[in-house]
Structure 1
């Protein structure tokens, strides 16, 4: 909060990481974005046609519209869209945080845009992560999931490099683990109105606003992702349920209970909020995902690729972040 002003933005809808003319791999990210106009461009010409001031003009418009319909319905041409034959691409997703745990890297291959089923897992990869003067080889545990075994914790200030080798081809990415502000406490306030765009309240249920109290660092630009938990279970498990923002209006300020999430709960439920400090590149990647799938144009082409930080034309993103979390009881 700077001078009593908070910056609130609108969350994106659930997005999928996709290939040009190829099936998508789900990702769980959310971008806050300014609200778009609800009036469609296709609706505006209808408003013009409904001009009752000139009957003659309306008759002319109706006649021309009828002629246009006859013309376009009488001229038909078959268009074959080759959406299934796009070449398969490697998709790599995963992260390293300052938590002491088994971190995961998931590797799959993309499939055709119109194909059904899940993306096939890559089970023959060699995966290593190098950082803080050590290299760890990850273990494949099934279904394309590779884990750091034993558990490890990322070190603040270290740069971590991911290296994946599949059939002799190398895929690499690197990110730095930046520090994060400490959360002093969280706000758990009974909500009176929805504050999370796209979320419709259900009758008879109670909702709580979750906010954070913390000193936002002023010596660097920060980009945040927020997750929410209820009774130990992740609530923000899809793109539409996460909250992402930069620190444009709060840089260097103390944040007094700024609401970052709204959750359905009942008195006695345990709730918590988790804050990530991600890189600008990862933030821009999320913006790209939003822009690629939220045009609203019914004549848009096949979903386009959003390139992450994986080399050799692979899709996905390897991100690194510190985590800060606080919780409490809903009253």
Structure 2
């Protein structure tokens, strides 16, 4: 995360890095952010797991979202990918394109929140790059993790005849986004302030399920995080694995706030099942592993729910409460 100053000169970028990002780069391999690269030794007998997500203002977050919330989201969506692979975090690389009109205090709030959240999740800042941009604020984080050699939980390894499981509750992030865009909808009017605040927080602040990394390695045949919508992401996993699957919409776990909003406005069920920003774990595992996985999750304060099964074949069937197939349209968010 070094600047581009000529020999003997200190650039404004160097000063910005020294003031905001060097204090949060606590890992010795970051070399105080004074070199062109970091040094990281993976634990002996482990494989590296690497993932990257980019967030763009106006696409992945609202331009007026609190900078601290943007920092947490940028970090946590990457940590969610590591969790779904059964990986433990080792560190992160940050690239940030900063608009010329971004206030200094907003950038400071971003850096402070990123440092605190990275420390809390055991994912220290190792390096990266800072640039100016005439466009929107853009953040790209590369997260590095590790798993015991040969144990990464893949997306494309779900066999037929196993249970489909999700963690936590589904649809909160998508409904939080709907609430932000259309606060006057009947479903949200039925919520009290606590319910609306819960949905808004779930959209702003993902909860990466890192506590389940080890359990996923032990018990899951396949897994991925739910970032673009439950139905669409499950369809991706099934297609990658060459199997089919069936789930029951009524078994999909909903928070009290989501359940109340959908009860008041049933049309909200579709975005809850297809919208993004859940960052829960979607896994496939044999029946004999369900109890052990659930016990581990419960001990970590995380719920688990069996919502369906895989089968030999292809495609995803989502059934409503009466057993009829549901039409969910595209099934998930897509940039293209």
After TM superposition, the score normalised by the length of structure 2 is: 0.20
Task: Compare the two structures and name the one with the higher helix fraction.
Answer: 2
Larger Cα-atom Rg: 1
After TM superposition, the score normalised by the length of structure 1 is: 0.20
